Amino acid sequence: MADSMATIERIYADVLRRNPAEHEFHQAVREVLESLVPVLDRHPEYAEMKMIERICEPERQIIFRVPWTDDRGEVHINRGFRVEFNSALGPYKGGLRFHPSVYLGTIKFLGFEQVFKNALTGMPIGGAKGGSDFDPKGKSDAEIMRFCQSFMTELYRHLGEQTDVPAGDIGVGTRELGYLFGQYKRITNRYESGVLTGKGLSWGGARVRKEATGYGAAFFAQEMLAARGTSLEGKTVVVSGAGNVAIYAAEKCSQLGARVIACSDSNGYVVDERGLNLEVLKQVKEVERGRLTAYAERVPHARHVAGGSVWDVPCDVAIPSATHNEISRDTAISLVKNGCIAVSEGANMPTTPEGIRVFLEAGIAYGPGKAANAGGVATSALEMQQNASRDSWSFEYTERRLEQIMRDVHAACHEAAEEYGSPGNLVLGANVTGFVRVAEAMQALGLI
């Protein structure tokens, strides 16, 4: 145990030295490494083969310039990224994020998480992430098209159905993916449907893809509660965010008998004790791209709170679906004191390490993002299957596949936590399961 802990500390110190100022990446690595001491105790060969060091170092990091012109003819320069982290289990798979906050540390943290998340799905896909510091907000369709075409003009040479398959993420929806795929097709002269996922239904997309991450987080919450002899039926749920993940987590929780009473956006949050009206919420957010103030104006019994934290609203189940590190130690303490019994993370790393410790010490059901939000990439892999076979599946069939995958993810995490001496600790279970699956494949493929 002492030797394994010393090995972990040495590896982490080396990650800090080699990746300066990439704080999100440091946090993601630390969270995984802390779970691996019992694995190294049982499998010293992983330390001998420097397996952890190899997994912490991306196979390839691509950074490039993205020049484009706005509608006034003014030239703009953004930076593009693609970090192809690990392909031991299959082609690189992971989304593209367009947001001003994007920098290399963001992409590396997301790519690192993606490696383990993808391994947990049981699907044959590796891990990657990409994006740009471009901000699509306030841009015209023509400006977004020109940016996407410029972005893909460089990125295309690194992609392929058997090499690297991006998807959408924050700031990259069906519109952006359409422009990206169109430029890829134009440059390569090939209709490779499987080179991008999250596509529109009329040009190779999969049903349930839009709903998948949110539905998956709800299914995972249901599995965690079932392991404790209860269910979502009759529970009050709060979600953060009001994008795809939040909306469809709320929808599936409602279908499973819960009452979703609050969600948030960058201007505050809305509370609707009778249960969110999803029809109105979808109209405001998906059609009008408006603020939650518009929801409160149309639903008389709802109230909007400007600023503040949606986590001040007491609930049985929390589904953070906005951004990383939104739940601090104090927020976690407040949730537990207010009666929260389960947290299923729809976003990537939304809870700080201190917050995670609060949840684990309180003994509540806590599903880390790499497990709880794996439904999105799992359905992307299902989209790849359909594209490869030139097939199209029904919504019901795809949803059944998604639900079974999320059950399998929970079961694997639950069993690993017990096997490695920490029953109920799904953080350890997820990290250990993902790591072992990737490490076994890397070992089989040799030192490459």
Count of residues for the chain? Answer: 448
> Is 117 among the annotated ligand-binding positions?
yes
Q: In whole angstroms, give the CA distance from residue 372 to residue 81.
A: 26
Q: In whole angstroms, give the CA distance from residue 126 to residue 276.
A: 37
- Triad 375, 86, 53: Cα angle to 5°: 120
> Is 240 among the annotated ligand-binding positions?
no
User: Looking at 160-286, which runs of residues are DSSP E strands?
Assistant: 164-167, 236-239, 259-265, 268-271
> Is 244 among the annotated ligand-binding positions?
yes
CA dihedral 138, 139, 144, 150 (to 10 degrees): -110
Radius of gyration, alpha carbons of the chain: 21
Q: Is the CB of residue 367 less than 8 Å from the CB of residue 221? A: yes
> Is 93 among the annotated ligand-binding positions?
yes
Please tell me whether residue 6 adopts helix, strand or coil conformation: helix
Q: Is the CB of residue 252 less than 8 Å from the CB of residue 219? A: yes
Q: Is the CB of residue 165 less than 8 Å from the CB of residue 91? A: yes
> Is 168 among the annotated ligand-binding positions?
yes
- Sheet containing strand 342-344, edge to edge, reads 303-306, 268-271, 259-265, 236-239, 317-319, 342-344, 365-367
Q: What are the phi and psi torsion angles at 165 (to 5°)?
A: -125, 95
Find the helix packing angle between 353-362 and 329-337, rounded to 10°.
30
Pairing of strands 92-98, 164-167: parallel
Distances (CA, A) of 393 to 41, 121, 289: 45, 19, 29
Find the helix packing angle between 375-388 and 104-121, rounded to 10°.
70
Q: In whole angstroms, give the CA distance from residue 187 to residue 331.
A: 49
Q: In whole angstroms, give the CA distance from residue 139 to residue 371.
A: 34
Catalytic pick among 129, 235, 252, 370: 129
> Is 114 among the annotated ligand-binding positions?
yes
User: Looking at 87-203, which runs of residues are DSSP E strands?
Assistant: 92-98, 127-132, 164-167
> Is 7 among the annotated ligand-binding positions?
no
Q: Is 285 a catalytic residue?
A: no
Q: In whole angstroms, give the CA distance from residue 409 to residue 304.
A: 36
- Largest CA-CA distance found in the chain, in angstroms, rounded: 64
Say which residues have a Cβ less than 8 Å from residue 13's Cβ, sequence separation at least 6: none
Name the binding residues for NAD(+): 213, 244
Name the binding residues for substrate: 93, 114, 117, 168, 380
Name the binding residues: 93, 114, 117, 168, 213, 244, 380
Catalytic residues, by residue number, are: 129
